[in-house]
Amino acid sequence: MSLKNLVGVSLDELPASRELVTRLLKAAKSQIADARVTSITAETRFGAAYSAIRMLADVALNANGYRTLTNRPGHHQTAIQTLPLTIGLPAQTVQILDALRKQRHVTEYSGDLVPESAVLECVSQAQALQTAVRAWLKTNRPNLL
């Protein structure tokens, strides 16, 4: 599978934009900061960290000249599962991010609680992804930073 093969299926072409990348990186950074605030509920912290992960995955796609087709079901899944192709993220990390996506889905639609373990994982994964995306941009697309 390549990113190009997914065009029209789950991806759309969108020229890389420094403005978009900057905006998403900034938003992801503040979501991560919000997720670290321990006085708010676990559900809200989890949601903020998950948003950061999704935004960072969108940065990775746009830096490669793509975006997800948001009118298709599963666009979160696409953004997360293409991370090995966009920034070379290890498959094992993607498995964890994908499990966090499912956890978020269950929480949003059935109101199940979010255990503290999932919040901690989501925040640390968001932080690690932020580092990985920034490092990849610096090496591969420094013009976008």
Minimum distance from residue 65 beta carbon to another protein (Å)? 30
Question: What are phi and psi for residue 8, nearest 5 degrees?
Answer: 90, -20
> Toward another protein, which CB reaches closer, 39 or 71?
39
DSSP calls for 46-98: HHHHHHHHHHHHHHHHHHTTEEE-TTSTTHHHHHHHTHHHHT---HHHHHHHH
Q: Is 97 exposed, middle or buried (0-12, 13-18, 19+ CB in 10 A)?
A: buried
CB of 49 to another protein, least distance (A): 12
Site string for another protein, 40-59 (x = CB under 8 A): --------------------
- CB-based contacts of 83, cutoff 8 Å, min separation 6: 57, 60, 89, 93, 94, 97, 129
Residue number, 51 or 125, with CB nearest to another protein: 125
Name the residue nearer to another protein (CB basis): 14 or 96.
96
Q: For residues 30 and 95, which CB has a smaller minimum distance to another protein in the complex? A: 95
Angle at 59 between CA 118 and CA 38, to 5 degrees: 30
Which residues in the 86-145 window bind another protein by CB under 8 A? 92, 95-96, 99-100, 102-103, 106, 111-113, 115-118, 120-121, 125
Q: In the complex with another protein, which residue's Cβ is closer, 54 or 101?
A: 101
Q: Which amino acid is at 114?
A: V
For another protein, the binding residues (CB under 8 A) are: 92, 95-96, 99-100, 102-103, 106, 111-113, 115-118, 120-121, 125
